[in-house]
Amino acid sequence: MCGIAGIVSPDARDCSYGNLQRMILMIGHRGPDDAGSYTDGQAGLAHARLSIIDIANGRQPMSNADGSLLIVFNGEIFNYLELRDELAAKGHRFATRSDTEVILHLFEEMGESAVTRLNGQWALAIWNRRERRLFLSRDRMGVRPLFYTFSGKRFIFASEIKGLFACPGVSRKLDLRSLDQVFTFWHTISPRTVFEDVFELPPGHSAILQDGRLTIRPYWELNYPAAPSGPPAHDEQAYAEQLLDLLKDAARIRLRADVPVGAYLSGGLDSTLIAALANQFAGSRLKTFSVRFSDPELDESSFQRQAVQYLGTDHAGLRCSEREIGEAFPEVIWHTETPILRTGPAPLYLLAKLVRERGYKVVLTGEGADEMLGGYDIFKEFKIRRFWAAHADSTWRPLLLKRLYPYLKNLGSQPAAYLNSFFQVHSANAGDPFFSHAPRWRLAAGLKIFYSRGMRAELDSREAFRELEQLLPPAFAAWDGFSRAEYLEARHLLPGYILSSQGDRVAMAHAVEGRFPFLDYRVVEFAAGLPPTLKMKALQEKYLLKRCARGLVPPAVIGRHKQPYRAPEAQSFFPDGRPLPYVEELLAPRQIRQDGIFDPDAVQKLVEKTRNGDIIGIRDNMALVGIISTTVLMRRFLTGFSAGEEQEEFHGRHPGRLAEICP
């Protein structure tokens, strides 16, 4: 796990060691163990290394035997041992035990389609010196990030956007349409970022740069079967066994490392099952980590204790206060490189720090199960709303929503028309491709009330939806509605927010690598092909997964009511009713007016409401977090731009590095 960066330009001065050094140092937190760079005057590659496999010999950039190919690679190929054996049988000779070298040999063997054989999480670049061609690729689900920009005649790429900005002359501007997507979907729609002219390579895509032209192509797509007709092909037990076998193998190969591997244990079904499987394969007692909150509504420590006791892991918990979340927040935004609407990434940023302090570089986690195996409330809500939409005037169908929203106590006495409007249930809506997500997006759209007049004049409120609709695969319309809802979560929110802002970026801020057994492509493809009713049976979430988990995780964890991961929000920025100093400064009317994004009066009223402790609704909480994160982002990336202490600290820890990077 590492950071990568590079430049391709017709002008040799652009590909200088100096530029490469600036870029890689800016993302040096991703790889504090080693660094290297290469340039031949047409292309330059740089690498900051977090050593996990073949610590002595895995240095990068790495070249093949004849020196025609050079690779920089961030990530892990979990099936590298099997691929290595295969390649060795074909006559390939290996100089190291690293997975990086396996990619190079596979590339020699198969060319650009080599990535279809990889099982792992990666962002990589391979420079073909003879053909002067750059190949870029990113893993199927979007675990590892890769950003790029064209600046003049230069093509520049890096693991993080700040790496691009470290290269002299790259412009830093906010893209207002992208910002509006964040305030609609919680994230930008790939390949956009919130910065103008900065793009990401979408998950499951490769790209080729030749003669200054970039061609981007998918090599894998998340696909669902057409709406099923007839009974499932197998019985439940057979499906459960197949799923468990796949998960076991996914966990087993994710323990491959030359350093100890730990696991996150939230107290929920997914992470507990992963910890249980890892515990079976781990040679020694598994180390687990979790976050605890003082607010009992958010805290899951009683389930964490039960899981730890049941599995017998060596556990470390981090108690995270509201103030700590608020104080860490500006650093978190420096790493997410996008505004966010929830504070969830902050506790995970603090947890990764603890993991690192305890000497761990690698953790297994449970992400992906909710998206692929029917875990989220939005899927339940969808099923109820679909059932209800078939008879939109029904007065009893919406009562099922009580199960989801216990606080809507008086649901039964409310006229159908009232509920219909809130839950967007009209028979005409049922064919809408975004039917499942309409209530969530409508809620987020409520944040736009805080936009300044200038922003409103600039934006077209339907544009974000049109852009997303254009990206839907042709087969989407033929899928079952449940699969469509899953696809929107797994293809967009998962890489756009969960795996990035709440995953890679906050963990790699402390050089901690997450590994995700549920995102093994074999598990993903199997899950996508399952009958939807097995993922969520009636309104029982993760039905099949729970069946798999029996006997492996505590019954209380299987039987518990699912609790979505949430962290304290508004109160983190106003501990004891007073704003943190930076919050007060950023939200001051003069400052908000100068930024031009939000309306100063509206923000002031929101501040008052928060100060009085009157913020209870999701909308207001999201608005506050969204506004603060936007203003922090502008301060850290636009009006100013420097890593400050982070870079200093990196130099301090690695005094010899500059000479190595700059031979």
Binding another protein (rule: CB under 8 A), the pick from 442, 522, 560, 611 is 442
How far apart are alpha carbons 461 and 122 in whole angstroms? 35
Q: Which stretch binds another protein (CB under 8 A): 33-41, 44-52, 437-445, 475-483?
A: 437-445
Interaction residues for another protein, span 580-639 (CB under 8 A): 599, 601-603, 605-606, 609, 614, 616-619
Residue number with CB closer to another protein (86 or 377): 377
Q: Locate tokens 């042709």: which residue?
A: 474
Query: CB 430 → another protein: shortest distance, Å?
Result: 19
What number of residues does the chain have? 663
199-200 and 147-151 strand pairing: antiparallel
Residue 2 appears among annotated catalytic residues? yes
CA atoms within 13 A on the CB side of 52: 30
State the minimum distance, in angstroms, from the CB of residue 409 to another protein.
Answer: 6
Query: Is residue 191 involved in binding another protein (CB under 8 A)?
Result: no
Closer residue to another protein, CB minimum distance, 399 or 472: 399
Residue owning tokens 């499942």: 436
Choice between 95 and 449, CB closer to another protein: 449
Is 410 a binder of another protein (CB under 8 A)? yes
Q: Does 469 bind another protein (CB under 8 A)?
A: no
Candidates 99-107, 159-167, 187-195, 407-415; binding stretch for another protein (CB under 8 A) = 407-415
Q: Of 26, 76, 74, nearest to 49 (Cα)?
A: 74
For 20, how many CA atoms within 13 A lie in the half-sphere containing its CB?
34
Q: Is 577 a residue that touches another protein (CB under 8 A)?
A: no
H and E: helices and strands count for the chain: 29, 17
Residue 349 exposed, middle or buried by CB count within 10 Å (0-12, 13-18, 19+): buried
Minimum CB separation of residue 570 from another protein in Å reads 13
474 binds another protein (CB under 8 A): no
Q: How far is the CB of 452 from another protein (least distance, A)?
A: 10
Those residues whose C-beta lies under 8 Å from the C-beta of residue 358, and which sit 6 or more positions away, are 262, 287, 289, 316
- Distance between CA atoms of residues 260 and 356, nearest Å: 12
Q: Does 399 bind another protein (CB under 8 A)?
A: no
Dist CA 108 CA 69 (whole Å)? 9
Specify the residue, 304 or 424, whose C-beta has the smaller distance to another protein. 424
Among 191, 225, 433, 446, binds another protein (CB under 8 A): 446
CA distance 553 to 270: 10
Is 599 or 646 the residue whose CB approaches another protein more closely? 599
Q: Which stretch binds another protein (CB under 8 A): 37-45, 83-91, 130-138, 445-453?
A: 445-453
Instruction: Tell me: does residue 199 bind another protein (CB under 8 A).
Output: no
Q: List the end-to-end C-alpha distance of the chain, in Å, as a whole number.
A: 24
Give the interface segment with another protein, choosing from 24-32, 301-309, 413-421, 570-578 (CB under 8 A): 413-421
Count, residues near another protein per rule CB under 8 A: 29
Q: Which is nearer to another protein, 261 or 444 (CB)?
A: 444
Segment lying near another protein (by CB under 8 A), choices 95-103, 129-137, 440-448, 471-479: 440-448
Residues 340-379 contacting another protein, CB under 8 A: none
Helix (H, G, I), strand (E, B) or coil at 429: helix
Nearer to another protein, 414 or 594 (CB): 414
Q: Is 295 in the site for another protein (CB under 8 A)?
A: no
With CB under 8 A as the contact rule, the residue among 12, 41, 241, 405 that binds another protein is 405
Does the protein bind another protein through residue 459 (CB under 8 A)? no
All residues at 6 or more sequence positions from 90 whose CB lies less than 8 Å from its CB, including other chains: 109
- What's the CA gap between 303 and 292, in Å, rounded? 11
Rule CB under 8 A: say whether 428 interacts with another protein. no
Residue 81 touching another protein (CB under 8 A): no
Distance CA(173)–CA(159), nearest Å, equals 19
Q: 257 to each of 4, 61, 196, 223, 520, how far by Cα in Å?
A: 20, 20, 38, 31, 17
CA atoms of 292 and 266, how far apart (whole Å): 9
Measured between alpha carbons, how far is 198 from 183 in angstroms, rounded to an integer? Answer: 19
Distance between CA atoms of residues 629 and 626, nearest Å: 5
> Which residues does the annotation mark as catalytic?
2
Residues that bind another protein (CB under 8 A): 405, 407-410, 413-415, 418, 421-422, 442-443, 445-446, 449-450, 599, 601-603, 605-606, 609, 614, 616-619
